[in-house]
Amino acid sequence: MPAITADTLTLPRLPELPEAATAWRKVHKVVRAAKFLEGEGFQVRRPFPSLDLAMADPFLLLDHMGAVEYGPGEAKGAPWHPHRGFETVTYMIDGAMQHTDSIGGGGLITDGSTQWMTAGQGILHNEVPPQDLVAAGGLFHGVQLWVNLPRALKLVQPRYQDIAATSASLIASDDGGALVRIIAGELDGHAGPGSTYSPITYLHATVSPGARLAMPWPRDFNALVYVLSGEGTVGPESRPLAEGHLAVLTAGEALTLQAAPTPTPWEILILGGRPINEPVARYGPFVMNTRQELSQAFDDYQAGRLGQIPATHLSPADDQS
Ligand code: MN
């Protein structure tokens, strides 16, 4: 897995938390990701939104793409489409996605890099594997998270942040057995590179077989743990959590996790944010507060007010819709 890695012995460490005096968060619920087809027909595992978990305020959606080994010509993407009212965060662990949008943002998201796109008042974008990866095939593994915007910020100017793999902050567990990449927000005073409108923390941890990972967690944030691969347990009650499963945790001040003693490490995403607590009206690529704002979004899209496909992308070779 070529997500950024490091020798944990040289990294700053998380504090050792007192076992008995810490309010550990327990598991409230475990949700199994359902499978969906997205874009031109690539499969994603989606723990939310689902029947079991409508949303995870302030998060709206989590799509886990792969890991999948594509043959030549098989890799697919999501051609030009609009968004309004929230932010998309795409983290590529293996393989690559080429991003282009209607505000001039764009770049290759690959091998541990992250792209943060604030749709705000409106944007059109194109998320596709690069031609050489499509032609050659190969391993493809990534995650897209949707982060809601509060009512007051739904119509901010769209913004694009390209976050290199090397800019993620790295921190180790207290005994060095786990590596934590801080993609956005902060952990124990260490800040990640992503600049977020809604306060969140977004981590990718690699936990060595049998190792324990414990960390302080803001009391006003929710807490979710999603398994990319491997097995482990969550909470002081050691609830098992396997690949494609998401744990929603209870309130508290700290998280405790442990990888199973299997041959491979436990790869997990740890997510949390301050709930926005506003009504959500969503339809496809638009997430607003009311149905009327949704129909306004459709009208604005039809009228071209969410942006235009750049002229250089209107050639037949590029028109994948
Ligand atoms: Mn999109």
- Decide: 159 and 195 in contact? Cβ < 8 Å: no
- What is the mean predicted confidence (pLDDT) over 57-68? 95
- The whole-angstrom separation of Cα 285 and Cα 83 is 5
pTM: 0.94
- Decide: 109 and 90 in contact? Cβ < 8 Å: yes
Q: Is residue 309 part of a domain?
A: no
Three-class DSSP category at 229: strand
Q: Is residue 291 part of a domain?
A: no
Ligand 1 center to residue 171 CA distance, Å?
A: 30
239-280: per-residue pLDDT in tens?
A: 999 999 999 999 999 999 999 999 999 999 999 999 999 999
- The whole-angstrom separation of Cα 209 and Cα 247 is 19
Tokens of 156: 């901010």
Q: Is residue 114 part of a domain?
A: yes
Name the percent of the chain in helix, strand, coil, to the closest 5. Answer: 10, 50, 40
Ligand 1 center to residue 88 CA distance, Å?
A: 7
Q: Is residue 231 part of a domain?
A: yes
Ligand 1 center to residue 248 CA distance, Å?
A: 25
Ligand 1 center to residue 81 CA distance, Å?
A: 6
The pLDDT value given to residue 41: 87
- What is the mean predicted confidence (pLDDT) over 177-206? 93
What is the CATH classification number for the domain harbouring 70? 2.60.120.10
- What is the mean predicted confidence (pLDDT) over 47-68? 93
Tokens of 83: 């968004």
Ligand 1 center to residue 77 CA distance, Å?
A: 10
Q: Is residue 208 part of a domain?
A: yes
Dihedral angle, C-alpha 129, 133, 139, 142, nearest 10 °:
-20
**Which is more confidently placed, 235 or 319?**
235
The pLDDT value given to residue 321: 40
> Kindly report the CA angle at 84 between 80 and 85, in degrees rounded to 5?
150
Confidence of residue 196 (pLDDT cuts 50, 70, 90): confident
The pLDDT value given to residue 314: 62
Query: Residue 301, CB half-sphere, CA atoms under 13 Å: how many?
Result: 20
Confidence of residue 72 (pLDDT cuts 50, 70, 90): very high
Ligand 1 center to residue 12 CA distance, Å?
A: 35
Burial 54-70 (b: 16+ CB within 10 A, else e): ebbbbbbbbbbbbbeeb
Ligand 1 center to residue 200 CA distance, Å?
A: 20
Q: Tell me which residue range forms the domain holding 76.
A: 10-277
CA distances from 300 to 41, 80, 231, 261, 291 (A): 27, 16, 46, 53, 14
- The whole-angstrom separation of Cα 157 and Cα 162 is 17
DSSP 158-187: PEEEEE-GGGSEEEE-TTS-EEEEEEESEE
The pLDDT value given to residue 24: 98
Q: Is residue 289 part of a domain?
A: no
Percent of the chain with pLDDT over 70: 97
Helix (H) or strand (E) holding 296: helix 291-302
What phi and psi, each to the nearest 5 degrees, are found at residue 180?
Answer: -120, 125
Q: Is residue 116 part of a domain?
A: yes
Tokens of 158: 């769209």
Q: Is residue 80 part of a domain?
A: yes
The number of domains in the chain is: 1
Ligand 1 center to residue 83 CA distance, Å?
A: 7
Ligand 1 center to residue 151 CA distance, Å?
A: 20
- Decide: 99 and 125 in contact? Cβ < 8 Å: yes
